Structure 1
Amino acid sequence: MKAIRIKISQNMVNYRKPTSFQLKETYPLPPPSTVIGMIHRLCDYREYHDMDVSIQGKHYSKVNDLYTVYEFKTGGKYEKGRHNINVGGYGMIKGVSTIELLVDVELLIHIVPHKQEEIDVIYEALKNPREYPSLGRNEDLVVIDEVKKVEIIDEELQEELILNPFYSAYIPEYYIKHDTVSIDIGGMKRSLPGTKYKISKDYTLENIGTKKDPKFIRKWNKVDVIYGSKILVGEDENIKIDEDKNIVFLV
């Protein structure tokens, strides 16, 4: 199958965990939904286009920063003792909160559209983006260091293959269950430790209202992955790799 491989870098970025509020925590790598959203934005897609992605990379450190937060209730009237901003008679509270930021992020991402004829569209959108791309928040701008069309193959390895030792990756859980991947510690093969995430990939719209008064919410499709590093794939194991021998974990 054909894929688009991109290498990107970012300065300070937050890939927000949706369950974090008081402190906006970040995933260590962007979830599939964030990457797929960026591709749809750059391609100007108006409806969902099925695709799978492989996400791996690294960051130098993590810091906490402050940001401005605005809180209000729809239709809530201004009350002097309660609100510190009056917007045309409606009340709003302005305050500060804390956000986690990853520093000096580097990512290697493979994008595989289900309709292979879309390869050229995605390649052109990344090679010559119509706007400055971002990944995470709107202000989390992306520097695209490489865009390349690659071939991905299923291969039975003749010798062990190790992921870039500085990179971590999202690994679909079934690779772990079948002992396809492990961890390399000083040349010794060990069971892969890591953090389990249930991360978002795509969604469908679900009507929780009525036919006359519809109210749509996003129903997210979640995928089970393990976030791990120092990843080793053993001899005789079947794995997806690209033409430059990069391991590919599609989700």
Structure 2
Amino acid sequence: MQFQLLFLVGATLLLSLPQLCICSECSESFKCGDDAYSYPFWGNNRPQYCGVPGFQLNCRDSSTTQIEIRNSNGFVQTFIVLNISEANQIMTIVRSDVWGSAFDGVYECPSAFLNDTTSYDSPFEYVYGTLNYTLFYGCPFNVSYDSGGFSCYDDANNTRSSLYLTADSVGPNQNSSECQGAILILVRPSSANLNTYDILQNGFDVKYVGSYNLDCVNCTNSCGTCRSSSGDFYCYSSGNRDPINI
């Protein structure tokens, strides 16, 4: 009798171990430098089943959080994640090809500019009030900060180039036709009066659609762990192999 009881207890513990491991892994946040984000995000130390497809984060240089977003044409573009307000489900991002550092007033030219003017085929949508700007690059003329431009340095060719940013409602500068090309830049309304460099570095906001935060808060308040399967939300308790009702 004692042997049977010990066998049943042991078998129960063995069956519980996979679920306990899953719950333990999903209780850990995605971490990159000072950033720490939880459900629906995943990546690095958080397995895919701890988040939702389309919310994978990557850690660049151990300090910079990145996300790849696919547009309606199937083109995938990388963005730097500046901040995520999990309670409001708003993520502030900036295009990786225009994000960078300026040293002594000189901005390093991106290696390539990628034009992305189509809507996103993803769980993200633009926050209301987001502004459209146009960034002209490879311009053969100098433009001052006050008029919407600044210079960047091309390490590969050891040359300087001018960038020129203008609001779509204002219209392009008469010399912009001489520039090498142009790309669409999305801008936060609060950044509109800043200089060109700061406008680019401040990025823009997107909202992720769905009740992810509310679902997960209700789950954790019930002592559960947030998970997903095939994009569907599940709440698991640490001692139960089946989802719990919330």
In the superposition, the TM-score normalised over structure 2's length comes to: 0.23
In the superposition, the TM-score normalised over structure 1's length comes to: 0.22
Structure number with bigger Rg: 2
Higher helix share: 2
Higher strand share: 1
